[in-house]
Amino acid sequence: MLRALEAEEFLPLLREQAPQATAEQLCRVHPAGYVETILAIRPEPGDSVAIDGDTAMSQGSAEAALRAAGGAVHAVDAVIDGWARRAFAAVRPPGHHAERRTAMGFCLFSNAAIAARHAQARGLGRVAVADFDVHHGNGTQDVFYDDPSLFYASSHQFPCYPGTGAASERGAADNVVNVPLAPETGSKEFRAAWSDTLLPALDRFAPELVIVSAGFDAHKADPLAQLRLETADFAWITERLLQTAGRHSGGRMVSVLEGGYDLDALAASVAVHVRALLQA
């Protein structure tokens, strides 16, 4: 992914090192005790500690998780302070499965939710997360569910990990919209889900900032799930979300990397995503 972003067309990008998130930023979403527990897990080099069946931490994981959340926060600061209108946080570990008190699905801190809460701490009111990762973002939804100032919109494969994301999960104030897609679904159904349901719902919410949970594991080449998206679909959804941001958020958009496990498909998909962000 980083190699793909070294291409000449991406020279105009401003590149920033992701800072470590502060305890204050993390604790807007996670209890202090949970943050302390995660950050205390620092195995010896070469060792790892299993958090659950999918999620392990190595020596570098705690710092990587702090920088993943911190990168998302820094991207929010960039678009609020106005030295960028759009930002992409090329970070791992991903975040959208991490619930308030539970690390799961490779995720330690709920990066997109932490970014949303930071935007509100900086003075914004309504913040939306649009999540096109192939998996449902149970963690983001968990944080947002009872708060009408936050909006979560997701398309995802169903049935699939983590098992949440039925259309009947709508949030306490109709502030959650889920569109489950059957395995082997391709571009047509994906685009219809966003055009017919998710984008109109985002328009009705009128977010002051759009945060994208940008997972690229719905690509047909991805080994972890069975949706059949083409690389071009990620350009399409990025352009549509930029139009939403243009209508409601002054064009401000923060995109945070989630999944994507075929590395060639990930690199190609991130390239079209960032190209769309750059050209908007």
Residues with catalytic function: 97
> To 5 degrees, how large is the angle CA 123–CA 194–CA 184?
130
Residue 77: both structure tokens together: 């600061």
- The 3-state DSSP class for residue 166 equals coil
- The secondary structure of residue 146, as a DSSP letter, is T
Residue of the chain from 131, 215, 229, 245 that contacts Zn ion (CB under 5 A) = 215
Among residues 233, 211, 111, 110, the alpha carbon closest in space to that of 153 is found at: 211
Contact status: 117 vs Zn ion (CB under 5 A): no
Contact positions with Zn ion (CB under 5 A) in 250-269? 259
Q: How many whole angstroms from its chain centre is CA 222? A: 17
Axis-axis angle for helices 32-39, 61-81 (nearest 10)? 130
Choose the stretch contacting Zn ion; rule: CB under 5 A; options: 81-89, 132-140, 149-157, 240-248.
132-140
Least separation in angstroms between residue 56's CB and Zn ion is 17
Least separation in angstroms between residue 125's CB and Zn ion is 29
Choose the stretch contacting Zn ion; rule: CB under 5 A; options: 30-38, 77-85, 135-143, 202-210.
135-143
Least separation in angstroms between residue 224's CB and Zn ion is 7
Residue of the chain from 74, 135, 240, 273 that contacts Zn ion (CB under 5 A) = 135
Residue 119: both structure tokens together: 């935007």
Least separation in angstroms between residue 30's CB and Zn ion is 20
Specify the residue, 107 or 124, whose C-beta has the smaller distance to Zn ion: 107
Contact status: 156 vs Zn ion (CB under 5 A): no
**Contact criterion met (CB below 8 Å) for 58 and 50:** no
Residue of the chain from 77, 99, 131, 133 that contacts Zn ion (CB under 5 A) = 133
Among residues 42, 179, 178, 62, the alpha carbon closest in space to that of 109 is found at: 62
Residues lying near Zn ion in the complex (CB under 5 A) are found at: 133, 135, 215, 217, 259
